[in-house]
Amino acid sequence: MEKEPRRLVFGATSVICLLVLPLLYAEFFALNPVPFDRSRDSLEMVGMTHLSNLSVSISSRKFGKGEEENKSLKSLLRRLVRGEDLTKLEATGFACDSAIHSVVCIANQPVRIDTHTMTVHAPSDQPMVPGRSVVRPYARQDDDNLLKTITPVNILHGNITPPACHYTHNVPAVIFSSSGFTGNLFHEFNEIIIPLFITTRHFKSNVLFILIDYRPWFVSKYHRIFSRLSQYEVMNPAANISVHCFPGAVVGLKYHDNLAINSSEIPGGYSMPDFKEFLRKSYNLKIKNVSEIERPVLVLISRRKTRMFLNEDEMIGMMKELGFQVVVTTRPNRMSNLNRFSKVVNSGSVLVGAHGAGLANELFLSAGAVMVQVMPLGLDWPANAFYGNPAREMGVHYLEYKIEPEESSLLKLYGRDHPVIVDPDSIFAKGYQAGRAVYLDQQNMKINLVRFRETLVEALRLTGRLAPSS
């Protein structure tokens, strides 16, 4: 008789465990959402069963419920096209906006995206002959060789029979690539980050990004930007081989110009100052105007391979004599950590560097700060097009220091009368790679301190300060 109570207790405990375990299971997965870079097998393991005839909602219901929500979504999507493209979008539910540098295709009706084949199925409720478009979603459409590195997205539209949904989302998809020239800060901002802002800011984070040619380091590097433009984790389609259903889609990103935003051509009328404010909030940058900096700080971008300053120590000494607190960037990978480096640049009154990708950090300068570009021989056009002209639109003062032949290492290599020195255009006429090999990859500089001092004195003046008397 003494063993009977123990059996009762054991039985009651088993029942309680069976009741509690499902609650613990549900609580665990409520606190641990499934990341989009997991494979479909792992999705099944954690309870998101793959059922061809069952739609599982894994995005919040911002759009897709009711007529008003559908109208709102269509209104947002239609802002991305104009003229005949807009007429076509409204008539058929699908249209592409083609420009010199970018192609953007929009579907304002439900689509199904097969991530195994990267095919967007965009059926129309209008009688249409089935059509097919192929887009390589990267903002350098004029570079055929580069486009070969971008995974193509196939778009089937018109009277088609789409595949069954595996997962259903209730916000539109935006598809773009992280291939191309990633690894170079200028190209990352110029061809991906700024175009992404142009294309998606007006959705107010109610979009889901599908990143083809997915690079984990790139997603990590720009996590703060992605998380402000979308409230959902970036999807890696190669790790989510399924059919995902969306109420609409955008394939490709709109591009305006080098580090530029044309407010008259962007949904919502955003401008470059708006983008800089967006960056300031994304990276929690404290300084909004250069007048807030108590002591003038000069951030010097130090190069260690090409376009080096051969007398850098003497340059730094002269900068300090002018009253600058000098911050030298020496580690090659320091600028890859934007969370930290953006704050370094934002704290600076003046940013100085030779022509190169590091000057794209001018995006983090406060209003009224100064960017000084040291222009090597033969690089007048790219210096102005990539960094000089954009700086002026950012609310940043721009100064350039154009070196003389005597300051270039090329003079010793080729001689004063060589075309490399006297006629750079003739070198670039042989092709970009010929010009690059000489002026970008082979050139270093020994700066004339007397001449360069005059440029820095002007930089001080532009920030509202005077140089100490000699």
Please give the Cα distance from 441 to 420 (Å, whole number).
13
* 286 phi/psi in degrees, rounded to 5: -85, -35
The tokens 């995006």 sit on which residue? 363
Taking phi over 0 as left and psi of -120 to 50 as alpha, with beta for the rest, 105 belongs to beta
What residue type is assigned to position 97 of the chain? Answer: D
Q: Which tokens belong to 34? A: 């499934």
- Would you tell me how many other CB atoms lie within 10 Å of the CB of residue 190? 24
The tokens 């055929």 sit on which residue? 144
The tokens 């007398």 sit on which residue? 311
Each residue's pLDDT tens digit in the chain (470 positions)?
434 344 333 344 444 444 444 444 444 333 333 345 444 433 332 223 333 333 334 443 344 455 667 778 999 999 999 999 999 999 999 999 999 999 999 999 999 999 999 999 999 877 667 889 999 999 989 999 999 999 999 999 988 999 999 999 999 999 999 999 999 999 999 999 999 999 999 999 999 999 999 999 999 999 999 999 999 999 999 998 999 999 999 999 999 999 999 988 888 889 999 999 999 999 999 999 999 999 999 999 999 999 999 999 999 999 999 999 999 986 545 456 899 999 999 999 999 999 999 999 999 999 999 999 999 999 999 999 999 999 999 999 999 999 999 999 999 999 999 999 999 999 999 999 999 999 999 999 999 999 999 999 999 999 998 878 76
The tokens 């219901």 sit on which residue? 61
* 340 phi/psi in degrees, rounded to 5: -90, -50
The tokens 């465990």 sit on which residue? 17
pTM of the model: 0.85
The tokens 């789409």 sit on which residue? 162
Q: 3-class secondary structure for the chain?
A: CCHHHHHHHHHHHHHHHHHHHHHHHHHHHHHCCCCCCCCHHHHHHCCCCCCCCCCEECCCCCCCCHHHHHHHHHHHHHCCCCHHHHHHHHHHCEEEEECCCCEEEEECCCEEEECCCCEEEEECCCCCCCEEEEECCCCCCCCHHHHCCCCCEEEEEECCCCCCCCEECCCCEEEEECCCCCCCHHHHHHHHHHHHHHHHHHHCECCEEEEECCCHHHHHHCHHHHHHHECCCCECHHHCCCEEEECCEEECCCCCECCECCHHHCCCCCCHHHHHHHHHHHCCCCCCEHHHCCCCEEEEECCCCCCCECCHHHHHHHHHHCCCEEEEECCCCHHHCHHHHHHHHHCCCEEEEECCHHHHHHHHCCECCEEEEEECCCCHHHHHHHHHHHHHHCCCEEEEEECCHHHECHHHHHCCCCHHHHCHHHHHCCCHHHHHHHHHCCCCECCCHHHHHHHHHHHHHHCCCCCCCC
**Packing angle of the helix pair 449-462, 312-321 (nearest 10 deg):** 40
pLDDT of residue 66: 59
Please give the Cα distance from 351 to 335 (Å, whole number).
14
Please give the Cα distance from 441 to 437 (Å, whole number).
5
Residue 67 and residue 97 in contact, taking contact as beta carbons nearer than 8 Å: no
Residue 158 and residue 131 in contact, taking contact as beta carbons nearer than 8 Å: yes
Q: Which tokens belong to 118? A: 């990267």
pLDDT of residue 446: 98
pLDDT of residue 468: 82
